[in-house]
Chains A and B, each alone.
Chain A
């Protein structure tokens, strides 16, 4: 009797829909397209010849695509003291080293927190990290500037990279992901005589690959897009990065000077981040489930 009721119930409740209806697809597709509109418009504009750019009424898509804007961008920059390639190099260098460095430092620090939670000080340390998640970098920017200044690192690559390496989010992410690895793995390796150093590099790191790929993406994109750190920590044109170059050619709110160059520069800024994410998306999704805070 009881089993019949259960079966009946189960049969009835199969009706909960797990699959989306066509109208849901329609709504979501419309929303997705609307969301992408500004980005598509930017891509399209960067290929517009001058005549199309100032058309009235404005036209959304480019009709006669051209690469002239990109040439104009490089030309426009040449009137500055340093060539376009220098900004690009600075951006690439700072973002790459920051991403690589923060992965190594946060993974090293996360391993003890994840696998030796009884170590004295581990709990306290992690509590501090969680608290640090709660303030935006903007809050500490001013005293951080004073410290970078004291260390004579203003206008150097060190000044742009070192402060960004000890990110609380990176440590948090790596620790959460490492926690789910079976401890027996480490113990077995120890029985075989492996040192912690070897266990870390040869067992732990390969297993948490999705997590560090995710961290690399976030850290790279964050640094690549960061406008205020280089604005404050650099003085000479030689040390500036792409976002600062953009604000130079853009000339601030309301200025329409050199529209073509600006559109091309936007494209150069945004495209690498999109490509990086598209290719590594599945690692990110694999990692993100562990990014919860257990209260």
Chain B
């Protein structure tokens, strides 16, 4: 035991001797990372087992928050349902659209201009551009969409897009998809450009005869790291949906039709100041994205590693 400790100590001393400048390089980032990323995650996990309203010190209540969350909080179940629905639709759709558009752009001239056109929406501030979308989907006949629908005779009465329970989530999905050609889209595009031309030539010699075969046998395998990055980003973004929902439908939205997990988190954290409960919501969301992220890494590494 003592011997093992001494060995450990000596190894640490050797490492420090060899790499101390490098550890110093990492120090500033590490400190901030621990304070503002690691500590919050640990704190959230601890707080999720307590009752904490920021006035009194946290009081340990075991699993009560989680029990309440899953067994009694119907609004949370609505939030989970909305978030999953949103994620199942936008996640894969945004992912495949990003790749398809990147693949198509890669065949065009004036790539830069096309890239900019599709990427621009994700550069825009959600709060600034939602002004335009609010006008587009406005509930009265002055809204652009209602105007067009009435003009073409598809409806006679304006549709209250942002108030109807059945239309709020679709509207949020449409706007999110519009904004979803983001970092992954650029990563795919750059990845496509970096596939060596010799591989395609070799593929032709080996009998690849269509673009589709080329994508499946050459492009996708070569781009595995980029595709994995895109998958992780798609999962994270589609589960964290909130800002657009809040801008478009408000918090809480009519009949909670646009209520998401993050919206629930904000409602309890910053409107009701029930930090313990909010922390439990955060932990659930974190667990969901983390598990899915790990699953996608596993999936990608199994495919012909």
Please give the residue numbers on chain A whose beta carbons come within 8 Å of chain B beta carbons, in ascending order.
6, 9-10, 12-20, 24-25, 28, 31-33, 35-36, 38-39, 41-42, 45, 56-58, 105-106, 108-109, 111-113, 116, 119-121, 125, 128, 131-147, 162-163, 165-166, 168, 171, 195-197, 200, 218, 221, 224-225, 227-228, 232, 243, 246-247, 250, 252-254, 262-263, 265-266, 269-270, 273-274, 277-278, 281-282, 284-289, 291-295
**B190→A289 contact, CB < 8 A:** yes
Q: How far is the CB of B15 from chain A (nearest CB, A)?
A: 5
Q: Confirm or deny: B265 has a beta carbon within 8 angstroms of a beta carbon on chain A.
A: yes
Greatest chain B CB density within 10 A among A12, A254, A287 is at A254
Binary CB contact string for chain B from 58 to 98 against chain A (1 if under 8 A, 0 otherwise): 00000000000000000000000000000000000000000
23 interchain pairs (CB within 8 A)?
A: A15-B209, A24-B107, A24-B108, A35-B117, A39-B124, A45-B132, A119-B22, A134-B232, A134-B290, A140-B44, A143-B41, A166-B32, A166-B36, A195-B21, A225-B124, A246-B125, A269-B124, A270-B124, A273-B125, A281-B115, A289-B187, A293-B297, A295-B301
- In the assembled complex, the Cα of A132 lies from the Cα of B36 at a distance in Å of 12
B125/A269 in contact, CB under 8 A: yes
- B116 to A281, Cβ gap below 8 A? yes
Whether B149 is near chain A, meaning CB under 8 Å from some CB there, is no
Number of A-B residue pairs at CB separation under 8 A: 323
Residue of B nearest to A295 (CB): B301
Q: Which residues of B (176-219) have their CB < 8 Å from a CB of A?
A: 178, 181, 183, 186-187, 189-191, 193-194, 200-201, 204-205, 207-211, 214
Chain A contacts of B25 at CB under 8 A? Answer: 108-109, 111-112, 196, 200
Main secondary structure of the interface of B (DSSP, over half): helix
Q: Is the Cβ of B286 less than 8 Å from the Cβ of A57?
A: no
By beta carbon, the residue of chain B nearest A14 is B204
The reply to whether B297 and A9 contact each other, CB–CB distance below 8 Å, is no
Interface string of B133-146 (1 = CB under 8 A from A): 11010110010100
> Contacts A116-B19, A166-B33, A292-B226 hold; do A281 and B128 have CB atoms under 8 A apart?
no
Contact between B39 and A147 (Cβ–Cβ < 8 Å)? yes
Q: How far is the CB of A171 from chain B (nearest CB, A)?
A: 7
Contact A57 B204 (CB under 8 A): no
Q: Evaluate contact between A16 and B22: CB separation under 8 angstroms.
A: no
A35-B178, A105-B28, A147-B39 known; A28 vs B204 contact (CB < 8 Å): no
Taking a contact as CB atoms closer than 8 A, the residue among B117, B123, B186, B207 that contacts A9 in the complex is: B207
Q: In the bound complex, do residue A295 and residue B112 qualify as a contact, i.e. CB atoms below 8 Å apart?
A: no
Is B30 located at the chain interface by the 8 A CB criterion? Answer: yes
A76 CB, nearest partner CB in chain B, Å = 14
> Do A232 and B15 touch across chains, with their CB atoms under 8 A apart?
no
The answer for the CA separation of A224 and B125 in the assembled complex, in Å, is 8
Q: Are A291 and B183 in contact (CB under 8 A)?
A: yes
Indicate if the CB atoms of B120 and A35 lie closer than 8 Å: yes
Residue from B112, B115, B265 within 8 A of A142 (CB atoms): B265
In the complex, the answer to whether B15 meets A119 with C-beta atoms within 8 Å is yes
Question: DSSP class of A's interface residues: helix, strand, loop or mixed?
Answer: helix
> In the bound complex, do residue A133 and residue B232 qualify as a contact, i.e. CB atoms below 8 Å apart?
yes
- Do residues A277 and B194 form an inter-chain contact, with CB atoms below 8 A? no
**Chain B, range 24-69, C-beta contacts under 8 Å to A:** 25-26, 28-30, 32-33, 35-41, 43-44, 47, 54
Q: Which of B41, B121, B128 contacts A35 (CB 8 A)?
A: B121
Whole-angstrom distance between the alpha carbons of A33 and B100 in the complex?
A: 17
Q: Tell me if B36 and A225 are in contact (CB < 8 A).
A: no
A143 touches B279 (CB 8 A): yes
**Residue B257 interfacial (CB < 8 Å):** no
Residues of B within 8 A of A (CB): 11-12, 15, 18-19, 21-23, 25-26, 28-30, 32-33, 35-41, 43-44, 47, 54, 101, 104-105, 107-108, 112-121, 123-129, 131-134, 136, 138-139, 142, 144, 147, 151, 162, 178, 181, 183, 186-187, 189-191, 193-194, 200-201, 204-205, 207-211, 214, 223-229, 232, 235-237, 239-240, 242-243, 247-250, 262, 265, 269-270, 275, 278-279, 282, 285-286, 289-290, 293-294, 297-298, 300-301, 305
Chain B residues whose C-beta falls within 8 Å of the C-beta of A265 in the assembled complex:
128
Neighbour of B232 across the interface among A28, A35, A293, A294, CB < 8 A: A293
Contact A266 B107 (CB under 8 A): no
The answer for the CA separation of A247 and B131 in the assembled complex, in Å, is 10
Q: What's the Cα separation between A69 and B234 when bound, in Å?
A: 38
Of A56, A200, A269, which one neighbours B128 at CB under 8 angstroms? A269
Shortest beta-carbon distance, B87 to chain A, in Å?
12
Query: Which A residues are in CB contact (< 8 Å) with B237?
Result: 136
From the candidates A31, A58, A168, A224, name the one contacting B144 in the complex (CB within 8 A). A58
Report B-chain residues with C-beta under 8 Å of the C-beta of A295.
224-225, 228, 297-298, 300-301, 305
Q: Chain B residues with Cβ under 8 A from A218's Cβ?
A: 183
Given that A20-B104, A38-B178, A291-B183 are contacting pairs, would A250 and B131 also be in contact in the complex, using a CB cutoff of 8 Å?
yes
Asked whether A142 and B44 contact (CB < 8 A) given A39-B124, A252-B250, A291-B226, the answer is yes
Nearest-Cβ distance from residue B254 to partner chain A, whole angstroms: 10
How near does chain A come to B172, taking the closest CB pair, in angstroms?
A: 12
**Using Cβ atoms and an 8 Å threshold, which residues of chain B touch A143?**
39-41, 43-44, 47, 279, 282
Name B275's closest neighbour in chain A (CB-CB).
Answer: A142
Instruction: Pick the residue among B32, B117, B207, B236 that contacts A36 (CB under 8 A).
Output: B117
Q: A284-B186, A295-B224 are in contact. Are A42 and B131 (CB under 8 A)?
A: yes
Select one of A41, A136, A166, A250 contacting B37, CB under 8 A: A166
